[in-house]
Amino acid sequence: MPSRRERANAIRALSMDAVQKANSGHPGATMGMADIAEVLWRDYLKHNPSNPSFADRDRFVLSNGHGSMLIYSLLHLTGYDLSIDDLKNFRQLHSRTPGHPELGYTPGVETTTGPLGQGLANAVGFALAEKVMGAQFNRPGHNVVDHHTYVFLGDGCMMEGISHEVGSLAGTLGLSKLIAFYDDNGISIDGEVEGWFTDDTPKRFEAYNWQVIRNVDGHDPEEIKTAIETARKSDQPTLICCKTTIGFGSPNKQGKEDCHGAPLGNDEIALTRKALNWNHGPFEIPADIYAEWDAKEVGAAVESEWDKRFAAYAAEFPELAAELSRRLSGKLPADFDAKANAYIAEVAAKGETIASRKASQNALNAFGPLLPELLGGSADLAGSNLTLWKGCKGVSAEDASGNYVYYGVREFGMSAIMNGVALHGGLVPYGATFLMFMEYARNAIRMSALMKQRVIYVFTHDSIGLGEDSPTHQPIEQLTSLRTTPNLDTWRPADAVESAAAWKYALERNDGPSALIFSRQNLNHQNRDAGQIADINRGGYVLKDCAGEPELILISAGSEVGLAVQAWEKLTEQGRKVRVVSMPCTSVYEAQDAGYKQSVLPLQVSARIAIEASHADYWYKYVGLEGRVIGMTTYGESAPAPALFEEFGFTLENILGQADELLED
């Protein structure tokens, strides 16, 4: 019977062979963590290779995603739908084994990891979701939501600032089913980390209220096993600090940066095989080792046992069971669409002039009671972002049954945690900060889009219109950055009606994230007929029009739409044929058919002015080089909002002047 070391060596062999064949990759971490992975995956991990989406599976996250051959080897060996040919195709075009683990490419990969530290944050999100869902659905004698989240991370993850943000919050929330394995090998790309990373990591995590298990020999299965047993009994999250040798088994390269991010080379691989006593050819795994690794039978039994427990739960709590099944499916309640449309019609009839951030809160008060899956939050700005609604209850270590997370000043951590929550299933996360501070969260927003997750970002105080807080707080280039992010829908509503419609669209969208951009200042209500209200869902539509073909088109979004309408009124009085196009979401507009887009922005009408208190350059795609953009090309100033709008040209007079010039040409 193969020993633990032999089983772990299968991972090492597959990893060094795949990296060598690709002539690209990171063998070191994989070879160093193979012994830890063997104990965890064979003795503890609850999963079913035949059904990677088994509801109550443990989640495994490889935060140091450059070591991707570790997870690919594990998935292949345990029986997932990942063949030896897939491993041979490592890092090649359209392969199922990309350079870093990517969600949707490889069965069994729970999240995309690569940007260091975010895998740990996703793991905190998984553990948070498990705790919340467990508190909401479990009943005495029926623990139907009951699984662990395990995460591997290295020195790089620890150096990233996000590790502080999410480690701190995980401790505060008492995420006891989160178990992290720190691969403490002392090596990063530039060499021995002692030149730039001398933190006392165990003390640091103890300060976050984690249980820390120090100085575990990462190559001793018994020590690893004892550590995991200890971790699983704790009422705190646990950090297991594993001393490992990077590139373990390589006679000339182990313990050195040489094996971090480059193939070992054929000669060194031959020596490594000898040192590990691995007498098999490239990509060759003996049948007895495959048999020891195969988890399909055990996995099927684990899932079957859960199915029986769920059936008993459903018999006693049929409504809860049906609700849990619905939420795990990702489908919104059947009546949501109709009720949301009725609310939007109600808002239109009411016709309030309010800040769109207030309109957003009103929408949450309307939609929140319909959606128990909502898990809201804000990065310490709830009173400004207006993300709290009447039915909010905070999530705490003692009672996690709530629906709102106080994330603290942790914009990046919040956003990456929300990705984990969305990936877990059963919850729809939204989180808020000022638009300016999306910059702190930028890479997590990109990951939401890359992974196509339903995460809703609420960004308020959306322009120089926030006023006196000065240029540090006034976003300029942020909207352009968000709008040019593939698969992210960025909504900047013009009034309360568009705000409610944006919320509905974002909630119903299940193939990617949305950013909802709201104002601090009051925005005038715009009258619309039923057709126009429906067309908000098209991302751009004709808000005000003229008889026949327009001479001039004013294009705007968000808080400046009201200004465009004022200009339309004046120009119409002057006998000019003018159209106003409201463009709350450019990505949704651009997905419409050519006929619709021609009906909104006819190609033959070249006289166009775009108006938005954001970076001007974005709008040239809509106005053309001959068109005009009234926008920002500098940073703002500190002053009350009316003074700023005047200073930077967001005035009726400026629009009319530019219109006159265009119409004269």
CB-count burial class (<10 Å; 0-12, 13-18, 19+) for 240: buried
CA separation (Å) from 181 to 7, 245, 419? 19, 14, 21
Q: What are the phi and psi torsion angles at 349 (to 5°)? A: -65, -35
CA separation (Å) from 383 to 357, 380, 458, 472? 11, 8, 13, 20
Please tell me whether residue 607 adopts helix, strand or coil conformation: coil
Note whether 418 and 449 are within 8 A (CB): no
Note whether 365 and 389 are within 8 A (CB): yes
Note whether 412 and 162 are within 8 A (CB): yes
Return the HEC string of 60-117: EEECCHHHHHHHHHHHHHHCCCCCHHHHHCCCCCCCCCCCCCCCCCCCCCCCCCCCCC
Judge whether 411 counts as a catalytic residue.
yes
User: What percent of the chain is helix, strand and coil (3-state, nearest 5)?
Assistant: 50, 15, 35
Q: Can you tell me which residue has the tokens 């938005």?
A: 612
Please tell me whether residue 346 adopts helix, strand or coil conformation: helix
- Given the residues 110, 165, 303, 411, the one annotated as active site: 411
Query: How many whole angstroms separate alpha carbon 12 and alpha carbon 3?
Result: 14
Note whether 246 and 258 are within 8 A (CB): no
Query: How many whole angstroms separate alpha carbon 25 and alpha carbon 100?
Result: 9
Query: How many whole angstroms separate alpha carbon 111 and alpha carbon 122?
Result: 8
Active site residues: 411
